[in-house]
Structure 1
Amino acid sequence: MSTASQLQSSSSRFASTLIDLLDRVEYRRVSLDEQFDPVYRLRYEAYRREDFVPINSQEITRDVYDDADNCYCFGVYIDGILVSSIRFHHVTSSNRQSPSRTIWPEILDPKLDQGDSYIDPSRFTADHDASLALPALPYLTLRIVAMASEYFTVRYCIASVRAEHAAFYRRVFGSERLGDERNWGELRFPVCLYAAEVPTIRNRVADRFPFFMSTPAERDALFGPGLGPRKIVAPTARVAHRLRVIENQRAEPTAV
C-alpha cells in the first residue's frame, strides 16, 4: 500500500471512530439565566490547573461576554458526564460584541464594516481526565463551531489561540494568521488571531472530517431563535454523512 493510501485509510478509520463516539455525545446549551451552570465551574477548574485565573470563592469563571445577546455557550457530555465546553459569538456589523474584536479591533472592524460576519469561539475548556482519555475531544467540541458557521452563513470562523495550538487550526480548518500575539483579557497567556474562510473550506472539511457534518434539524435545535436553551441535543453526523454520500452518488455522471 502506498503512503498516500495508508494516510487515507488512517484518516477514514479516525473519521469512523469519531462518528461512532458521537453516538454517546450530547450537547447542552447553557441558559444565560443560570449563573452557576457546571460549564462555568469546568472553566474555572481548567484555568486554575494552569494558574490562568486567580482563585475566587464561587469557583466559577464568567465574564461580560457570557451575557451578550449574541453569545451561545455549550457543554459537551459523553454518557451524561460533562467533558468539555465552548462558547461562541455570532458577530455582524450590527452586533459587534466579541472577545477577539476587543483584542484586534483594527483587523476585525474593517471586515464588519464591509458587511462580512464571523463566528468567534472562546472559552474552550475540557475536563483534565477526559482530555487524557479522549484525544479526539477537541474535534467533538469544535463541531459546535463548525455547525454554527454553517447555520449563520458567516464568511469567517476566527480563532484566538495560543501559539502551540495554532498548527491544529491550520491543519484541520485551513486557518490563516491574521493578527499578532496579544494578551487575552484577564487570562494569563497570549493568543494569536487566526481565521478560516468558511465558503472556501466548507466542502473540503466535510469530506475529510465527516463527523463535523450535521442536519438542519440539529442546527435548528442548537441555534434556532425563540425556543430558548435546549436540555439535550444529540449529534446527527452519521445521518448527514449518509445523505451527502447519496447526493454525491446521484451527481456522478452516468457511464455510456
Structure 2
Amino acid sequence: MKEHVVEALTHSRYRVLTESRDLEEIYRLRYKCYRAEGSIAKNARGLMTDDYDETENCVHVGVEMDGKILAAMRLHLVSRLCLVSPTLEVFPEILDDLKPGQTILDPTRFVTDPEARDRRVPLHFLALRVPFLAAMFYDIDVALAPVRAEHTAFYRRYLGYEPAMEPRSYPGLKKPIQLLTANFREQRDAVLERTPVFGPLEDFPNASIAFPDLFGVYPAAKKGRYKAA
C-alpha cells in the first residue's frame, strides 16, 4: 500500500451522515467543488442538494480528517423494493439488462476538497473506498459509475469498470456524464489484489463504515452481508 495513502488513512474517519448539520456541510462542500470546476451555476445559499438526497434508499458518507469533512459521496441502493436513483433518471435503459433479483449501487456527488487535493492528500483513493465497501456490504450485483469522460481511465484501471453508455446531459450539471458499469462480484477479488486499500482494513478501525441496513427499501443479502463496516 502506498505510504501517502497509509498516512492519510491514519488521520481519517469514515462517517455515515444523517444529521442536518453534517448534511449541510457536505452540501456546501459539493457546491464548493462543483463551482470550482464550473459544473453548476452560482446560487445564493452556497449549497448543492436535490430531492435524491432525501430518498429512503440514499446513504451519505463523509471522509473526515482533523474534524473536517474533506470528501463525500452519495449512495443509492437500487433493488426490486426501490427503483429510485439519479443515474436511472438519465440512463433508464440500465433496468432493461437487470435480471430478476439483481441489485444496483449508484454512487453520485463524489467530491473532494480542492485545498486538500492541492496539498496532495489522496482523497480520491480514500473516497472511492466508500462505494467499494458499500458494494461488499450490500452484496451488490451491478455497480454504476456516472462520471465525466476525463475520469473514466481511473475507474477502468483501478476498479474494473467498463464503458456502458455514451455521455448525456445530467440534471443540474453543465457538463455531460458518461456511464461506466461493473459486475461487482466478478471484479471484486481482482480489484482487491491490485489495490487492497479499497477493501476492509483491520489495522485502521476508523476506516470502517457503519452502513445502515435500509430495511424495507433494500433486501437482506441471501448469504449474509460482508462485514465491511
Indicate the TM-score class for this superposition, using the shorter chain for normalisation. 0.7 to 0.9
Q: Which residue of 2 aligns with 1:129?
A: 115
- Structure 1 residues 125 and 208, CA gap change in structure 2 (3 angstroms): same
Higher relative contact order structure (alpha carbons within 8 Å, sequence separation ≥ 6)? 2
Instruction: Name whichever of 205-214 and 180-189 sits farther off.
Output: 205-214
Rounded Cα–Cα distance in structure 2 between residues aligned with 1:149 and 1:77 = 21
Aligned with 1:77: secondary structure? Answer: strand
Q: Which residue of 2 aligns with 1:90?
A: 77
Question: Is the CA contact (8 Å cut-off) linking 1:30 and 1:73 kept in structure 2?
Answer: yes
Higher helix share: 1
Aligned with 2:181: secondary structure? Answer: strand
Q: Which residue of 1 aligns with 2:218?
A: none
For structure 2, which runs of at least 5 residues remain unmatched after alignment? 216-227
Rounded Cα–Cα distance in structure 1 between residues aligned with 2:121 and 2:69 = 16
Q: Which residue of 2 aligns with 1:222?
A: 211
Instruction: Name whichever of 165-174 and 85-94 sits farther off.
Output: 85-94
Tell me whether 1:200 sits opposite 2:189 in the alignment: no
Rounded Cα–Cα distance in structure 1 between residues aligned with 2:80 and 2:166 = 23
Q: Provide, for residues 207-233 of structure 1, a one-character-per-residue CA deviation record: whole Å limited to 9, x for no partner.
A: 22111121699767233458xxxxxxx
Superposition deviation, residue 35 in structure 1: 8.2
**Which of 76, 101, 106 matches 1:115?**
101
RMSD: 2.3
Question: Is the CA contact (8 Å cut-off) linking 2:31 and 2:47 kept in structure 1?
Answer: yes
Question: Is the CA contact (8 Å cut-off) linking 2:14 and 2:208 kept in structure 1?
Answer: no
Percent of matched pairs sharing the same residue: 31
Scaled by the length of structure 1, what TM-score is found?
0.76
Tell me whether 1:76 sits opposite 2:72 in the alignment: no
For structure 1, which runs of at least 5 residues remain unmatched after alignment? 1-11, 227-239, 241-256
Aligned with 1:222: secondary structure? Answer: coil
Rounded Cα–Cα distance in structure 1 between residues aligned with 2:197 and 2:22 = 31
**Which of 27, 30, 33 matches 1:40?**
27
Aligned with 1:37: secondary structure? Answer: helix
Larger gyration radius, structure 1 or structure 2: 1
What letter is aligned with 1:144?
V
What letter is aligned with 2:100?
Q
Q: Which residue of 1 aligns with 2:6?
A: 19
- Structure 1 residues 191 and 209, CA gap change in structure 2 (3 angstroms): same
